[in-house]
Amino acid sequence: GENVEQHPSTLSVQEGDSAVIKCTYSDSASNYFPWYKQELGKRPQLIIDIRSNVGEKKDQRIAVTLNKTAKHFSLHITETQPEDSAVYFCAAKGDSSYKLIFGSGTRLLVRP
């Protein structure tokens, strides 16, 4: 079955710096890759997603890149702000599988 690995588990950056979180997936048939943000004690919420027919997608300070050959995708946050502090989860879903499999999460801390 699909397996999603996420790194790093924790990330601390200075406000204004960039943050990068990386994920790899095992199922080459995976074609949908969302990223969720979970603030402390809150529900996970979708922040950006990408499908396998594109290599990059950007939404203001957030971007996601996908390398299908290497089976990895990354979340890039530029000009980080304290409110970006949260746990970020990547996920992957294949066309033949209905299951959305999550990574183990990255705890991002943005220091003021």
Determine if 70 is a binding residue for another protein (CB under 8 A). no
List b or e across 40-56, with b for residues whose CB sees 16 or more CB atoms inside 10 angstroms.
Answer: eeeebeebbebebeeee
Query: Is 49 among the residues that bind another protein (CB under 8 A)?
Result: yes
* Residue 92: partners with Cβ closer than 8 Å, 6 or more residues away: 2, 4, 23, 25, 27, 30, 32, 33, 73, 100, 101
Among 12, 18, 81, 104, binds another protein (CB under 8 A): 104
* Spatial contact of 109 and 10, defined as CB atoms under 8 Å apart: yes
**In terms of CB distance, is 58 or 99 closer to another protein?**
99
Shortest distance, position 69 Cβ to another protein, whole Å: 21
Report if residue 11 touches another protein, rule: CB under 8 A. no
Contacts to another protein by CB under 8 A: 1, 4, 6, 31-32, 34, 36, 42-46, 49, 51, 89, 91, 93, 95, 97-105
